[in-house]
Structure formats: C-alpha cells, structure tokens
Structure 1
C-alpha cells in the first residue's frame, strides 16, 4: 500500500514540472529526502545545469527535495522500477540490498573524511558502484554524508556506559541496528521524517546524524545533547534507474556520468561550508556538545558487529583494502 501511495505521489509530482524542464527532450526526475538548499540537493541541481549546458538543452534534471517522492526506502524501490530516474540516498538503506555497501557503513571503518574521500575516489569505490547494476540501478557518484554522532533528549553521553538503555532511531540497516545494540542502546529503525515527532513524544530518546541533518531537521530543538563520537562516516550515493539509463544513447550516458562526477567536488565544498554553518547555528541555540570523548571503548565494542557482517571473503578483502589506504 505504501509503494502504491508513493508511486501515485511520484506521478502527481512529475506533472508539476517547470516550463523549462518541459522544453527539454529528456527530463530526469531526481529524488532527495533533504530540503532545498541542502548540499546534496544543490549538487544534483548543479549536475543538471552541467547536463543542460553540455547537451545543448536536450537533457534536464528536475530535483524533488524534502522527500516529495517518498522516504528513502520507498524511493529506492521506485528508482529500481524506473518511476524515478535519479536518486540521492545514503548508503545505509542499501546495506540489506547490496551486500558490498555494508563495508562503507561499518562503524569506524574510515579514520577521517579525507580517508573516506581517498577510498571512494579509488578503484574500491568504483568496484562497489559497479554492484548496483545487479539491482536495476546504476551507481553514478558518491557524495558526503559527514560524520554521524549520537544526540538525545535525556542526558549528555560522555562514555559508553551513558548509552545504556537509550532508544535511538537508526536507518533501516542491520549494521546500524547491531551497532547501537553493541553499545548497549536500543535501536529503532524508522523513516527520517518521523524522527522529530518521535523524540518529541518520547517514542525514542534520540538518533544519530551529522551536523547539517541535525540542524536542518530541527532535531536539535528536541534533542539538546550532541556527542561527537563520530561512529560513522558513511558516504551517500547518487544512483540512476537502470531502465532510465538504458533508454539513453551511449553519448548521453557518458554526459550523465561525467556530470555526476563533476558535481562531486562542488558538493564537497558546499558540504564543508554547510557543516560549519550548521554547527554555529546549533551552538547558538544552546545545545550541549560533548567533544572530549574516549572513542576506544566504542571502537572495541564493534568487534561483534564486524564478525557478524564481514563474513564473506569478498567483504573481508574490501575491509582489508580500505584499511590499507593511506
């Protein structure tokens, strides 16, 4: 029923294209759960500008922000079916669909943002993008998702013991569920759009996310304790429906691929600016930010998470290759 509802929403939204988009021969509909102005939204809009210019106006991108076409789980299904052409999604929801994406979602797999960039820009990143084609999708590019940390409405988290018993929203990923459970918390998978009201009403105590998401969602208003444990630095991914891709000529496929890649440095610059601005806004609102935290117990608690999810030789090899990147 949910899929039917979101499909209907997508069809209705597609009827609202601007006159500029209607003038194009090909209009690619793109979904994002984040609001207008968010770095991922702006990056896909930039990609659309590049495409329109390089195709002499033949190809346009119409971005539907703020989850207009549905939450991430539903839009992934729509993209696989070809109802949505492009989709910017966190890698988390793909963990249960494409096994190889799990390695980028492992807690503390990346030592820093620079390390993550070096990995996704390497053949490791391309190897994982290639796996999307086996699931009716084409992986085009990686975007930044920042470092994710815990926030809650109950108390400051200064040690692993403070996590005990707290209920945290996580993305619909077994890796994320097991991560919270390993720390002694209670993981509650739920759509991003339900988090604010769920914290406000006490259904959950908090969630985990990056500075821009914590700020733009307003979650800091109802969860005033933010601990920079930085357990995840999960890249986000821009994918295209395989059926939409196959409908393009080889030349147009090359244009789309290059425009997506050229949007990555723009997105990274916008992301760095947005992180700083979001942090400043959150601090001005009086949120208690816990920066000085010993991560060692958190990292050590992840051993069973790795043992459960890094089981195949392929995944073990990917982890080894990622850890070897300087």
Structure 2
C-alpha cells in the first residue's frame, strides 16, 4: 500500500508538469519488455511518429525497451497510476484484473493467427479494449503476439504424453498455469528476464512462446527443441494511463486512438517478417522444430474453459469469437 501511495504521489507531480507543458512538446514515456528492434517496440515508435506528425509536434513518444522501466507486472501498476504514460503489455498479466482479457488468453480460442487478427481488430476487440478503462488505463490497440508453442532443453514433444513431468515457465496467469497442468506438466510462473538462466540451470525444462521471443531472448541457445503445438495466440495490448488520457483534448484523444489503430498494420508487417527471420535463425543455430497433431491438446482444454469461463457474458464472448469466420 505504501508503495502504491508513493507511485500515486509521483504521478501527481508528473501530472502537474504534464499539464503545464502541453502547449510545448510533451514527451510521453512508453514501456516494453522486448529488445530494441522488436516488432512491438517498432510499432509503438511508429505510433509516436504519427502522434508527433498529427499534433504538429505537440506530443511525441519515447519507447523504453528491454524492460528498462521494469517487468510487465511492475509496469502495469505504474501505468495505472500515471508514472508511465503508455505501455505495451501481453494479455496474460491483465487476467486477474480485467475478466474480459481472459478470453483472448484461452488456449485454442483462435483457429489461426488470421482468425485472431480479424477478431481483435473488429467489434469484439473494441469491446475488450473498452473493458480496460475502469481500471485506470485506456486500451488503444491490439498487436499480434504470435502463436505460442512449447520449447525445452530435453526432447521433442510429439504428444501430450511427452509433457508429463516436465516443468515450463509461464506468465503470471492462472489460465496459463491451468493450461500446462491440463497437459500433465508443471507450470512455473517466472519473469521473462529470468527464463534463460532458469533453463540453463535446470530450474525449468523449458518455456512457451513465439518464434521471435524464442530467438531474440536467446532461449534457443539453451532449449533446442521447439514443438509447434500453437496452444496460444495471445494478443498484445497498447494502453495509455487514464491520468494522461484525461489531460488530452477530445481532438487529441481522437488522434491518439486513430494513430494506435494505424500502427497495427505496421506491427503485423514487422511481425510476419520477424517470424520468418527468427525461424530461419534458430533453425540455422541447431534448433529442432517439429509439427504435431493438435487435436489431443485441444481436447484437453475443456477443464480450463469450465473453470475460467463461468460468467454468461464471457461465455457469450467465447461463442462469438468461435463463430467469427
């Protein structure tokens, strides 16, 4: 509680400064845990360029990549209090706070990356973005977080039986923990920055993520087996502190929303190129990538849905996503 009060006090000081300089250029700080050059980092930079252009230089965005402002759980608290202005965060860490975010975080909720993009950039996506605002942040846009699969240092995973007894790092999300348990493995919630050492030292056998993360975080160096089960296609979300948002004029709010939407296609282009490049890089480095039959994995997810989708409103959201063609 004391830590939260300190953050709130700091936010109040920054807010006074922000309000006093809005006539000149105001530099907004944006956080990302990924390294410089990563598609989400570059997409937010592009968003910042659009903001600067469309506000005639009154606003600009400085992206603090590589977790310079903290890991995702820490930055969520900071953006809610206004200490950080903008934040690109994975969906999982929001699950305990915003029920609607659990739905795109469900295993196999999306049939493909293309299905996920269509849903998250349509009316359903806008509905989920709107759910952020009561929690101190304004949801601006969803980026593609790619298809996540298991990788490990021990063996190729070709069936659910291969997962039994193995330990995998997951994000701090009950859904992710329950998903791994439903497959017969053990989940270890752990900050992203600790995964490499965790695999290297044997604390965990592996993790689950997409090709770009597997590559850029160097996890391919210590976990050579990548199995394409594609259990999750979890979007990334760009949010803005409501403290900051409320200080924008209605005209500028429109500019910010549109710039965020316009940055999505840029992120998709960068993402698709990075996926192809990262897959090529890790294969050249000796990673063994294998296909598998996903149906048994999909069938094993029923207990996860039964546990986490009990609210009729959320059940309807699942139904509408699954019906989207």
- TM-score interval, normalised by the smaller of the two chains: over 0.9
Structure 1 residue 157: Cα displacement: 0.6
Cα distance in 1 for partners of 2:171, 2:142 equals 18
Shift of 1:23: 11
**Aligned match of 1:232:** 232
Deviation at 1:59, TM superposition (A): 0.5
Match of residue 99 from structure 1: 99
Give the TM-score normalised by the residue count of structure 1.
0.93
1:76-111 deviations in Å (ceiling 9; x for gaps): 000001000000001011111100110101100000
SS at match of 1:104: coil
| Cα drift, residue 249 of structure 1 | 1.0
Residues 152 and 224, structure 1, Cα contact 8 Å, conserved in 2? yes
Q: CA RMSD in A?
A: 2.1
Distance 2:147 2:73 in 1: 21
Post-superposition offset of 1:121: 1.4
**What corresponds to 2:19 in structure 1?**
none
Match of 1:125 in 2: 125
- Any idea what the Cα deviations from partners look like across 1:102-150, whole Å, max 9, x if unmatched? 0101100000111011101111111110000110010000001000000
Matches of 1:276 and 1:3, distance apart in 2: 42
- In the TM superposition, 1:213-224 aligns within 5 A as 213-224=213-224
2:320 equivalent in structure 1:
321
Name the CA shift for 1:3/1:169 in 2 (closer, same or farther; >3 Å). farther
Please, which runs of 5 or more residues in structure 1 have no aligned partner?
15-21
CA distance in structure 1 between the partners assigned to 2:69 and 2:3 by the alignment: 11
- Looking at structure 1, the residues matched to 245 and 204 of structure 2 have their Cα atoms a distance apart, in angstroms, of 40
Residue matched to 1:299: 298
Q: Deviations over 1:39-61 (max 9, x none)?
A: 00000000111111111111000
5+ unaligned residues in a row in structure 2: which ranges?
Answer: 15-21
- Residue 3 of structure 1 contacts residue 74 of structure 1 at CA under 8 Å; is this kept in 2? no
Alpha-carbon separation, structure 2, partners of 1:124 and 1:246: 24
Mapped to 2, the partners of 1:51 and 1:238 lie a distance apart of: 14
Pairwise CA distance, 1:25: 2.2
**Cα pair 1:24 1:60 within 8 Å, conserved:** no
Question: Partner of 1:18 in structure 2?
Answer: none
The SS at the match of 2:132 is helix
User: How many residues matched?
Assistant: 315
Query: What SS is found at the alignment partner of 2:180?
Result: helix
